[in-house]
C-alpha cells in the first residue's frame, strides 16, 4: 500500500502502512543528507510556502531546508509582521496565499484545528507543523524514525512519554503513532499535567518516574509548556525537577540501553539534566533534529506525488468535459 493522503494534518488518519512507507523513504533521504549530494529535483517547479503563526526554530528551519534540498521554491512568511497583526482573519490570509498558487503549504498555528480549517480553503497540499495542543505529525514521524534506527524496529517497544502531556501536541501525535505501530506507551507526569480522558488512549499512566520508567526501551521527555499554562500546574520548577526531571539516577530504572529523547527546545535543569541531554551514549536529541529534515523531505515528496496525480486527473477530466 502506498501513501494516499492529500494533506498531512495529523497522525490520526494515517494507516500503519502509510507510516512505514513514509519512514522508509525518509531513511533514504537521511542517507542522501549525509552524502555529498544533498540535492534532488523532485519538487522542482513547485512552490512551498511556510506560515508560522507561532515561534519555531528547528521545525521551520528543517521544513525550509527540506524544501530547498528537493528543489522547490521556498518562501517563509514572517507571520508576526504580516497583516494578521492588522486583524486579517486566517481565512483571508489563506485566500491571499492561494492566489499565489502554492503547491505545498506548511502551517503552524496556536489554535487546535486551525490547520485543518485552512486545508479546506486552499487547493494545495497542507502540512501541519503543529496546531495548538492537537497534533504535530512530522515531530512524531521524526521521533519514530529515530527510534526505528536506534532500536532496529518500531513495534513491541516499551516507551515512556514524560512530563507535560496535557499541553503537548508532540505527546498526542506520538501516542497515536506509537499505538498504531503496536508499542506499549506509558505516560509519566503529575496528575495536573495529564489530559482529561487519558484512559481512552490505551496507555498506562504513572505519577512516579521510577515506577513508570521501569524497563522501558525509550524515554521521551517533554518541555514544560509554560506559555500554555495559566499558573498552578506545578508547585515550583525546583520541585518539578526533583520529582519528574530526568537525570542519570532516574534513568537507571529503564533498560540499560534505553535511549533518551526530547523534541526541543529544552529547559535544562527543569525537565532534563543538561549533562544527560548531551551524553551521546544515551541521548539521541541531535539525531532527532537530523531525522527532522529527512522526514519532512519524505512527507513533501509523497504529498507532491499525490498532488501531481490529482491535478493530472483533473486535467484529463476537464479535457473530456
Ligand atoms: C515542539 C512544539 O513546538 O510543539 N517543538 C518542536 O516542534 N520541536 C515542542 C515544544 O515546543 O515543546
| Strand, helix or coil for residue 49 | strand
Between the CA of 53 and the centroid of ligand 1 the distance, in Å, is 13
Please provide the distance, in angstroms rounded to a whole number, between the alpha carbons at the two ends of the chain: 31
Q: Are 135 and 172 in contact (CB under 8 A)?
A: yes
State the Cα–Cα distance between residues 175 and 222, nearest whole angstrom: 13
Distances in Å between the alpha carbon of 31 and those of 43, 172, 287?
A: 18, 29, 13
Q: Does residue 136 have its Cβ closer than 6 Å to ligand 1?
A: yes
Dihedral Cα 270, 272, 276, 280, nearest 10 deg: -130
Is residue 241's pLDDT more than 60? yes
Kindly state the average pLDDT of the residues 298-313. 96
Distance CA 297, CA 295 (A): 5
Ligand 1 centroid, distance to 223 Cα (angstroms): 8
Give the mean model confidence (pLDDT) for residues 224-249: 89
pLDDT number for residue 1: 55
**Banded pLDDT at 61 (limits 50, 70, 90):** very high
pLDDT reported for residue 84? 63
The CA 115 to ligand 1 mean position distance, Å, reads 16
Indicate whether 209 pLDDT > 70: yes
- Residue 25 CB contacts under 8 Å (≥ 6 apart), including other chains: 298, 301, 302
Of residues 7, 8, 108, 10, the one with CA closest to residue 59: 108
The alpha carbon of 130 and the centre of ligand 1 are apart by a number of angstroms equal to: 8
Mean pLDDT taken over the chain: 94
- 138, 143, 189, 200: which is closest to 166 by C-alpha? 189
Whether 138 is in the pocket of ligand 1, judged by its Cβ within 6 Å, is no
User: Would the pLDDT of 207 be above 80?
Assistant: yes
Output the nine-digit C-alpha cell for 249.
539516577
172 CB less than 6 Å from ligand 1?
no
Buried b (16+ CB within 10 A) or exposed e, 208-232: ebeebbeebbbbbbbbbbeeeeeee
Q: What is the pLDDT of residue 83?
A: 59
Atom of ligand 1 nearest to the CA of 54: 3
Question: Which among 200, 143, 198, 127 has a CA at the least distance from the CA of 165?
Answer: 198
Amino acid at each position: 500500500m502506498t501513501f494516499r493522503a492529500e494533506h498531512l494534518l495529523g497522525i490520526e488518519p494515517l494507516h500503519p502502512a502509510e507510516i512505514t512507507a513514509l519512514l522508509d523513504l525518509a531513511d533514504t533521504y537521511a542517507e542522501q543528507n549525509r552524502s555529498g549530494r544533498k540535492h534532488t529535483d523532485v519538487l522542482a517547479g513547485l512552490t512551498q510556502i511556510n506560515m508560522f503563526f507561532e515561534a519555531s526554530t528547528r521545525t521551520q528551519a528543517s521544513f525550509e531546508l527540506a524544501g530547498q534540498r528537493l528543489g522547490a521554491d521556498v518562501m517563509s512568511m514572517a507571520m508576526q509582521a504580516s497583516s494578521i497583526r492588522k486583524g486579517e482573519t486566517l481565512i483571508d490570509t489563506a485566500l491571499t496565499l492561494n492566489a499565489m498558487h502554492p503547491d505545498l503549504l506548511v502551517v503552524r498555528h496556536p489554535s487546535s484545528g486551525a490547520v485543518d480549517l485552512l486545508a479546506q480553503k486552499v487547493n494545495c497540499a497542507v502540512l501541519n507543523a503543529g496546531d495548538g495542543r492537537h497534533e504535530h505529525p512530522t515531530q512524531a514521524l521524526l521521533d519514530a524514525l529515530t527510534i526505528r534506527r536506534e532500536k532496529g524496529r518500531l513495534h513491541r517497544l516499551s516507551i515512556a512519554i514524560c512530563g507535560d502531556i496535557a499541553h503537548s501536541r508532540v505527546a498526542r501525535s506520538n501516542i497515536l503513532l506509537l499505538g498504531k505501530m503496536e508499542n506499549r506507551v506509558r505516560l509519566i507526569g503529575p496528575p495536573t499535567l495529564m489530559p482529561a480522558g487519558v484512559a481512552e488512549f490505551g496507555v498506562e499512566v504513572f505519577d512516579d518516574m521510577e515506577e513508570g520508567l521501569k524497563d522501558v526501551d525509550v524515554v521521551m521527555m517533554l518541555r514544560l509548556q509554560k506559555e500554555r499554562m495559566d499558573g498552578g500546574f506545578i508547585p515550583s520548577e525546583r520541585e518539578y525537577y526533583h520529582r519528574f526531571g530526568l537525570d542519570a539516577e532516574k534513568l537507571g530504572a529503564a533498560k540499560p540501553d534505553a535511549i533518551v529523547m526530547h523534541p526541543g527546545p529544552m529547559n535544562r535543569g527543569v525537565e532534563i539534566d543538561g549533562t544527560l541531554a548531551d551524553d551521546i551514549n544515551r541521548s539521541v536529541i541531535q539525531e532527532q533534529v537530523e531525522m527532522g529534515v529527512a522526514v519532512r523531505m519524505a512527507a513533501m515528496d509523497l504529498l507532491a506525488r499525490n498532488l501531481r496525480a490529482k491535478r493530472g486527473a483533473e486535467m484529463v477530466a476537464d479535457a473530456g468535459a
